């Protein structure tokens, strides 16, 4: 081969093997750094998630990896922030998408809206291109509520044309590395008619702040109320049914009928979209007051306790069983009076007076009249 031909071949080889890939990488980097690429990624995420998305920065460290900074989920109707994430690292292959989050902040008063969007997305999951997603997050917290933070979040989502299953486990405290995680499972069955969505929360005997689940419940029961046990929720079309089995602790009762520090033990409650269906358990209230009208409706005479409309409570303890029309009450306080110990009083007042329910009482007054603030 002549020397000129050799030089031409070497030049071509250099261009093909060195210059062209370098130019491709530079062009690829410039294109991905343009604002139009960030807009394209926002549009793709919006299509997948069903929510408006804002991204501060998009980086691609390696092929099939993307690093998103300052990501916000926005209400598609109002444009208000629902949640913000300072960093999301995503990597994928043909079998799985893996998402790693640093800190997730959820706007406290937008939780219901965010849950509705999430549920809608899960129920129409066909638009999402991956059927196997692994999720890890360092922590998630509610804004304006520094105490409501969960840690070490691990989740998995699997779906096919018939079913979807999403599982999330988390710890309440960063140091709880050896404590059993609280688990949330969402199942969507597309083969039932009507279509069914089920959610199960298992606290594994840990105390879960009610405010994490529902701000409305926390407002009614007190800011420090905690629950432990299992919650099962079912949605069928526009109908829903929730069953909770467990305990509620540190209840702050502040209604017009009764006040005090309360605790519900062995609570078994079933609610539907129409209201209370069944309710049973034991309620104990200490250091509070009760309206005499409540005792009067139970057939308990209160003349000996003075002229005030309220009675100071040292201890009130009652087993109850209720449905949507009535409630059955059985007193179960530990009596200080030996001869009355077998009967177990319903209430012991601050001055030591014991108020007895002589037999199981069926009370037809509305349940909400006592416990609703």
Tens digit of pLDDT at every position of the chain (373 positions)? 555 554 444 444 434 444 334 334 433 444 444 455 677 777 777 777 767 888 888 888 888 888 888 888 888 778 888 888 888 888 888 788 898 988 888 887 777 787 777 777 766 655 566 778 899 999 888 876 556 788 899 999 888 777 888 899 998 887 765 667 889 998 888 777 777 888 899 988 888 888 887 777 777 788 888 888 998 988 877 778 889 899 989 999 887 788 999 999 999 988 887 777 888 999 999 999 998 888 887 778 776 555 678 889 999 999 988 887 778 888 888 887 766 556 788 899 988 888 888 777 776 655 544 443 3
- Amino acid 18: pLDDT: 46
* E strand or H helix that includes residue 26: helix 20-33
Hey, what are 141's tokens?
């917290």
Residues in the chain: 373
* DSSP tag of 3: H
Q: What is the pTM of this model?
A: 0.74
Q: Which of 258, 257, 351, 346 is nearest to 301 (CA)?
A: 346
- List all residues 6 or more positions away from 171 whose beta carbon is below 8 Å from its beta carbon: 150, 151, 152, 177, 179, 181, 182
Query: What is the dihedral angle through the alpha carbons of 76, 82, 84, 88, rounded to the nearest 10 degrees?
Result: -60
Q: Which of 320, 302, 234 is nearest to 271 (CA)?
A: 234
* DSSP tag of 127: G
């Amino acid at each position: 081969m002549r020397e000129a031909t050799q030089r031409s071949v070497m030049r071509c080889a250099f261009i093909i093997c060195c210059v062209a890939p370098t130019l491709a990488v530079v062009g690829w980097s410039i294109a991905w750094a343009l604002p139009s690429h960030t807009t394209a990624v926002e549009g793709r995420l919006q299509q997948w998630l069903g929510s408006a998305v804002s991204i501060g920065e998009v980086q691609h460290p390696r092929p099939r990896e993307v690093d998103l900074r300052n990501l916000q989920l926005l209400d598609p109707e109002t444009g208000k922030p629902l949640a913000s994430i300072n960093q999301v690292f995503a990597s994928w292959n043909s079998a799985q998408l893996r998402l790693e989050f640093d800190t997730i902040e959820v706007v406290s008063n937008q939780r219901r809206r965010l849950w509705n969007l999430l549920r809608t997305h899960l129920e129409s999951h066909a638009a999402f291109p991956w059927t196997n997603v692994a999720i890890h997050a360092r922590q998630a917290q509610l804004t304006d509520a520094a105490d409501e933070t969960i840690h070490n979040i691990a989740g998995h989502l699997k779906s096919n044309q018939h079913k979807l299953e999403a599982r999330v486990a988390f710890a309440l405290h960063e140091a709880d590395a050896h404590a059993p995680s609280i688990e949330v499972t969402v199942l969507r069955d597309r083969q039932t008619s009507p279509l069914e969505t089920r959610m199960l929360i298992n606290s594994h005997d840990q105390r879960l702040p009610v405010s994490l689940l529902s701000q409305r419940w926390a407002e009614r029961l007190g800011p420090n109320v905690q629950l432990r046990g299992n919650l099962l929720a079912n949605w069928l079309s526009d109908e829903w049914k929730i069953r909770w089995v467990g305990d509620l602790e540190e209840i702050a009762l502040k209604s017009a009928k009764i006040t005090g520090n309360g605790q519900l033990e062995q609570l078994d409650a079933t609610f539907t979209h129409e209201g209370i269906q069944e309710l049973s358990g034991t309620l104990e209230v200490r250091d509070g007051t009760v309206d005499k009208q409540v005792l009067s409706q139970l057939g308990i005479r209160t003349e000996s306790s003075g002229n005030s409309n309220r009675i100071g409570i040292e201890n009130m303890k009652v087993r109850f069983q209720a449905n949507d029309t009535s409630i059955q009450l059985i007193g179960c306080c530990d009596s200080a009076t030996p001869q009355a110990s077998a009967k177990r009083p319903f209430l012991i007042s601050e001055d030591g007076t014991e108020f007895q329910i002589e037999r199981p009482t069926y009370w037809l007054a509305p349940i909400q009249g006592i416990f609703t603030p």
